[in-house]
Amino acid sequence: MKYILSVVLLTVFFSCNSSAQKKNSSENTSFPISKTEAEWKQELTKEQFYVMREAGTERAFSSPLDKNYKKGTYVCAACETPLYKSEHKFDSGTGWPSFDRVIEGNVAFGTDNDLGYSRNEEHCATCGGHLGHVFNDGPRETTGKRHCINGTSLKFIPES
């Protein structure tokens, strides 16, 4: 009985992710805009800091940008890097702004294992702010991708 208990405990101990493995994958990457935690806290709202710097997720259907259908560009809420164009936005029904593609070069990708399985995570390539995740269940007639983005990570700049 002691042997079985020891094997179970060792298996659980070695299979659990350490806190270092759970860190946001952007933390180990260098970005053109780099600020301290205190500086980000001063510049971002509490929710923006939670989502963009701690890789959190806003509540579904809480962002007014989810149902925004105006023409323009979606930029990073932290550094205003252009990330997505309105012509690539679609209503996924998930409660988060969704796009079928990014503005090339302005979005960085990583891997997120926080839920016990791998997801493709998106970050602003300029400041490293967490944006959301990309899935392979988007519109088949375009890219087949669904970039599911936290609205609080974005600002919308209307077309002039």
DSSP 59: P
Secondary structure of residue 38 in the 3-state scheme = helix
Instruction: Check if 16 is active-site.
Output: no
Residues 6+ away with beta carbon under 8 Å from 137:
144, 146
What is the spatial distance between Cα 115 and Cα 118, in angstroms, rounded to a whole number? Answer: 8
Non-local CB neighbours of 29 within 8 Å, separated by 6+ positions: 108, 110, 123, 128
Question: Catalytic one among 76, 124, 127, 148?
Answer: 148
Residues with a catalytic annotation lie at 148
